[in-house]
Amino acid sequence: MESIAQLKQLLANQVEWLSHYGADSDGGVTRLLYTPAWLKAQQALAERMREAGLDTYYDDAGNLYGRLEGTEHPEEVVLTGSHIDTVRSGGKYDGAAGILAGLACLRRLYAQFGRPKRTLEIVSLCEEEGSRFPITFWGSGNMTGRWSMSRIPDVADAEGVSLGQAMADAGFGPGTHRPCRRYDLVSFIELHIEQGMVLERLELPIGIVQGIVGQVRLTFEVCGETNHAGTTRMAWRKDAVAGTAEMTLALEREARSAGDPYVATVGKMVVAPNVSNVIAGNVLFTVDLRHPDALSLEAFARRIVERFYSIAAERSLQLSHRQWMHADPVPMNEELVHRLEQTCKSLQVSYHEIHSGAGHDAQLLSAVCPSAMLFVPSRAGISHSPDEYTDAQDLAVATRVLADTLYQLAYVGGQRQA
């Protein structure tokens, strides 16, 4: 493999290159699923994969793969990769880091050692974030059976375009490419930015993820009464914004008093009619709840929902809600974690055992194959922001660890992983 200095330069250049697809004027990146920016990025990546000697293909959902077919066990696939969709006004590293690192690994491994014994693939997954449509993990979910092309969820984006239509417009959908579901994966390793401050504070270049937090997302609709801001006495109002504010603060109080590691967020509100001299009659807002323990998370979600309904009743507001996302907390595969630790030790790279408070595709893939993750530090812990930044040196070191681990899994031996 090239030196760390060369790898650092390569990765820094590639991060800039990929960030041009969907670049915002403020330095951020917006690549929403099936939009032209997203599609062009997938096509450009496919080109780079082919230049590296990989065979490329898409599945029906739009996941892009680059493949090095195994010489001895082609039916056993060692997979790496991450996602290229971003949140609105996101950064250059979330998702992209794992794809560019993975591509650098496969390029070098192929150039140096030729074809592996087991098949080695990289995947650029679609819609991890749930930014355009109210569904998350659409790409990895289709691979693992969580989602299916035969039951495309009836959801639409903010402009009213349905998921099925957007998918078809981008050239994907049932029967357009290869089937999504994978039964041949033997390991998945995802490199990702930490999106937190733990590694930076410890001044360590690598986190080996032990487990991923569980999460629940819900949308609430508060219905009050639209009325005149000047002539409606305070006692007569059914103010949907005031009710939403009370619910939001109640949520914050509940999470704080429950203590770490509970986190709860109202990240989106849509107010109608959203006019300065009109009492709002309607608010839609989302709630994102997370905890590493499944039962605690479930109980917390129930408590919050009950609390919101009682606030609505006290204010004579109508309330309805829908839970549209649930991801179980999952541990990472012990054997792969151990292997990553051994690789770090043999390369004399210091690491930290870390838990992920963010959701990841590895969470879904761990249901179908041993899965693990490597984290690289995020400057000031900032992510989902144009200010997201990861030092190319750290990225290069982690890429080296990833490459060595993929080498062991795909080139050495040929026995199935436990």
Ligand X SMILES: NC(=O)NC(NC(N)=O)C(=O)[O-]
Binding mask 332-361 for ligand X (x = CB under 6 A): --------------------------xxx-
Residue 368 to residues 44, 181, 213, Cα–Cα distance (Å): 29, 10, 18
Q: How far is the CB of 91 from Zn ion (least distance, A)?
A: 9
Considering the complex, state which of residue 60 and residue 94 has its C-beta at the smaller distance from ligand X. 94
Q: Are strands 282-291 and 214-223 parallel, antiparallel or unpaired?
A: antiparallel
Considering the complex, state which of residue 211 and residue 359 has its C-beta at the smaller distance from ligand X. 359
246 makes contact with Zn ion (CB under 5 A): no
Q: How far is the CB of 207 from Zn ion (least distance, A)?
A: 14
Residue 346 to residues 80, 180, 206, 401, Cα–Cα distance (Å): 21, 36, 14, 10
When CB distances are held under 5 to 8 angstroms depending on the partner's kind, the choice from ligand X, Zn ion, none that residue 130 binds is ligand X
CA atoms within 13 A on the CB side of 76: 18
Within residues 184-223, the interface with ligand X by CB under 6 A covers 195
Binding mask 78-97 for Zn ion (x = CB under 5 A): ----------------xx--
Partners of residue 75 on adjacent β-strands: none
377 makes contact with Zn ion (CB under 5 A): no
Amino acid occupying residue 171: G
Instruction: Name the residue with the smallest CB distance to ligand X.
Output: 359
| Distance between CA atoms of residues 309 and 360, nearest Å | 31
Q: What are the phi and psi torsion angles at 213 (to 5°)?
A: -60, 155
How many residues form the binding site for ligand X (CB under 6 A)?
10
Q: How far is the CB of 359 from ligand X (least distance, A)?
A: 2
What number of residues does the chain have?
418
131 makes contact with ligand X (CB under 6 A): no
| Distance between CA atoms of residues 173 and 163, nearest Å | 10
127 makes contact with Zn ion (CB under 5 A): no
136 makes contact with ligand X (CB under 6 A): yes
Binding residues for allantoate: 217, 277, 290
Beta-strand runs (E) in 13-72: 55-58, 64-68
Cα dihedral 148→150→156→161 (10° resolution): 120
Contact predicate 153/163, CB 8 Å: yes
Considering the complex, state which of residue 383 and residue 399 has its C-beta at the smaller distance from ligand X. 383
Stretch that binds ligand X, among 8-16, 49-57, 124-132, 293-301 (CB under 6 A): 124-132
129 makes contact with ligand X (CB under 6 A): yes
In terms of DSSP H, where are the helices of 114-239? 138-144, 163-169, 198-202
59, 60, 76, 94: residue in contact with ligand X (rule CB under 6 A): 94
130, 211, 214, 370: residue in contact with ligand X (rule CB under 6 A): 130
59 makes contact with ligand X (CB under 6 A): no
Residues forming contacts to Zn ion in the complex (CB under 5 A) are 94-95
